[in-house]
Structures are given as structure tokens and as C-alpha cells.
Copies of this chain bind each other. A is one copy, B any other.
Amino acid sequence: MKKLNIGMVGYKFMGKAHSNAYRALPMFFPDRLHPAMKVICGRNREAVASAAHQFGWAESSSDWKTLVSREDIDVVDINAPSNAHKEIAIAAAQAGKHLYCEKPLALSLADSREMLEAAESAGIKHMVGFNYRFAPAVILAKKLIDEGRLGDIYHFRGWFLQDWLVDPDFPLAWRLQQEIAGSGAHGDLGAHLIDMAHYLIGDMAEVIGMSETFIKERPLPSDSGALSATSGAAAEKGPVTVDDATLFMARFANGALGSFEATRFASGHRSTNSFEINGSKGSVIFDFERMNELQVYFTDDQEDVQGFRRVLATDSAHAYSGVWWPTGHPIGYEHTFTHAFVEFLDAIQEDRLPSPNFHDGVKCQQVLEAVEQSIKERTWIDVASL
């Protein structure tokens, strides 16, 4: 089996998740294209060398420019901080590398469009890291909709609730700074909901949002990691420049109504990434904290036994599940990435665009910005106008 050489830029939380997926692929999907973990790249030479060792990469590098132009690299995987995506992606595309880029594609719609254009011009395969699409329970929801088993769709309700910012002493990490993160809960969590809605329901016609930064100032961090940061005693404070929470309503092109909520201030919710869809023939409910389950309701069930079914999407009837453990045995978060990479490598092998790709990344960015504009202008925004 031919192997594809991977060069990956980024080595923190996402770098770890991607590495783990690359390691799992040949064992659990032996008949697919295999990735070769060639080079891992990051700004801190020592840290990235250590990550290479820990994660199992053949080489490490602190120079992404060299990496993306190496002859022996087939694929560039970008999971560096969001503000670095664009430059790397465009250079890699121009060098003819296939691209897997973490979401959000870029910090602006304009940038993400440039990236798409570069990828398309180069004729390479491109994919964007909306990994939650790849939970078997989510794929089951998609299948039910595509097969018409939920009928006409009336409602999409999505909420991504976390609580790590409820403590006002949590420091001003990079995710709370607009120039690096782009936005807060909106781009980080809301983006996943938006992509999920695109995947399951389709395009949005118009949106209107609201957002808030509940804690305006936070202690400056003494050290900054991917998700955490610690502050010294009596630390100086700096302004939080992103949203703590963003909500919006949407009208989908197919007439369905959408409501979306992303927040880091929902005490008790560690990572509730959840949606509900109501259609004329049935409904589904998903909650990532119980990622192996999908609740499913059908209106044509017998009259006396109608009710939401708790379906464990671990049977062989469910996507990807046959390759893992026996029925009823949960898989974890990490394999949303494994499945995503299966799709990516399959697409390369089959010479087709993977899904979701940069088009989806752009579409997500478009809604993110439409919502932001609607917040500024206090009125509905036609998504297509952006």
C-alpha cells in the first residue's frame, strides 16, 4: 500500500489529536491509504522536537516554509494558531501539497476565500477540520435526513456550552485575544455548530445575532498554553477582546428555522456540543458528551409506543463502527479525527474532493461574519450578501 507523507504544522492540543489519528489509521483501516508521519513543525524548536518524539514523527522542524516545499511531503496538515493558517495554506497549495486545515480556516472571510482560491487553482485536495461530523451518531443523523426518514425539516437547534471562563480569575489566554483567535465562543464553538447545520440542514439564508463579554478584564497570563494559562499572584489585568457568548437565529434556504448558542459561561457544561432537529417524520437529538448515542424519534411508530429512542451508534449498521470494538463499546473523541482522516485519504486516493473541504470552511466563515455584521447593525443580514 502506497503511503502519503505528512508534514504537520502545529503540535499542541490539535497536533496531539491529529498525531493520534495518524497512528490509529493503519491499524484500524489497514485497507486504506496509510499516512507516514514524516515531519512535525512548530515555532519552538525544542518543544516541537519533544513532540516529534512523543507523538511518533520521523523529523521535527521549526521552519514551515521549508516544510511545505519539500519534495517528499505529500500532505500538509495545518493546526497552528488560526492567525497562521492562511500564509501556510497558500504556500503549501502553491507547492502542490494536499491540505488538511483545522477550523477556522482563517480569521476573516476574505482570507478564507483566498485560501480556497489558492487550493482550487493548485488543483490539490483540501479538507477543513470539522471533526464532529465524523461521530458515527452524527453520521446516522445525516443518513436519516438524506434518506428522508425525518421528512421535511422544520427546526435546527444547536448549542455548544462550556464553562471554563466562569471563573473571573481565569487568565487572559490567547483564545481571549481577538488578534490571535479572531473571535471567542463564536468562532471557536459556534463555528462547529454552523458547520453541523450546513452538513445536516443546508445553507442559511439570513441570520441575526447577539453577543456579550461578561467579564471585561482578566489577569494577564504568566504562561500560555493551548487551552490553559496560569496567572501570577496579583497579576495585572488586560481587556478581553472576544465574545464570551454569541447567540443567533437563522432562516435556512429550505425554510427551516435555526437557533444557535455558543458560550463559555454555562456552569456545569464541560463541553456540551449538542443539536436537535425536528422534521415532519421524525426528530434527532445529539449531545457530544454522550457521543456514541443519537436520540431518534419517528412519527409513524405505533401509536402506543412512540418515543425518542436512545440509539447506541456502535452497531455494525453504523458508520465506521464495524472497525472498532464490539457493539455497545464506546469510542472516544479522538476517533472523530481518525474518521476525518479516513475521508481525507480516501478522497486523495479516489481523486475527489473530501468533505468537508475549504468550500465548507468558507461557508462557515461567511455565516460567522454575517452574524458579526448583524450584531453591529442590529438587523438581519442576508448571508449571500457577504
> Footprint of B on A, CB under 8 Å?
13, 16-17, 19-20, 23-24, 26-27, 30, 53-56, 140, 143-144, 150, 152, 154-155, 157, 159, 161-164, 166-168, 208-210, 212, 214, 227, 245, 247-249, 251, 255, 257, 259, 261, 263, 265-272, 278-283, 288-292, 295-299, 301, 303-312, 314-315, 317-318, 324-335, 378-380
Contacts and interface: CB of A to CB of B under 8 A. Distances in A.
A304 B137 CA distance: 10
A157 B159 contact: yes
B326 A227 contact: yes
Given A270-B327, A303-B317, 5 more contacts: A30-B53, A267-B283, A298-B305, A310-B310, A332-B332
* Interchain residue pairs A-B with the least CB separation, the first 9: A270-B328, A271-B328, A268-B297, A332-B332, A307-B309, A307-B311, A331-B332, A329-B333, A303-B317
A252 to B, nearest CB: 11
B283 A268 contact: yes
A259 B261 contact: yes
A211 B7 CA distance: 49
A165 to B, nearest CB: 10
A210 B251 contact: yes
Contact of A328 (B214, B272, B301): B272
A8 to B, nearest CB: 14
A317 B255 CA distance: 32
Contact of A312 (B259, B289, B296, B310): B289
A16 B124 CA distance: 35
26 contacts: A20-B27, A23-B23, A23-B27, A154-B265, A155-B263, A155-B265, A166-B280, A208-B208, A214-B255, A249-B249, A266-B283, A267-B280, A268-B278, A268-B299, A271-B329, A289-B328, A291-B330, A295-B307, A301-B309, A303-B315, A304-B315, A304-B318, A307-B309, A325-B333, A330-B332, A332-B335
A55 to B, nearest CB: 6
Contacts of A311: 304-307
Contacts of A330: 288-292, 330, 332-333
Contacts of A20: 24, 27
Given A267-B281, A325-B17, A261 B157 contact: yes
B307 A154 contact: no
Given A27-B23, A257-B212, A306 B268 contact: yes
A261 B261 CA distance: 13
A27 B13 contact: no
A201 to B, nearest CB: 14
B299 A305 contact: no
A201 B270 CA distance: 23
Contact of A154 (B245, B271, B280, B283): B245
B306 A308 contact: no
B328 A332 contact: no
Nearest to A248: B249
A250 B208 CA distance: 12
Contacts of A272: 328
Nearest to A379: B379
Nearest to A154: B265
A278 B267 contact: yes
Contact of A271 (B53, B208, B326): B326
Given A26-B54, A27-B54, A210-B249, A304 B317 contact: yes
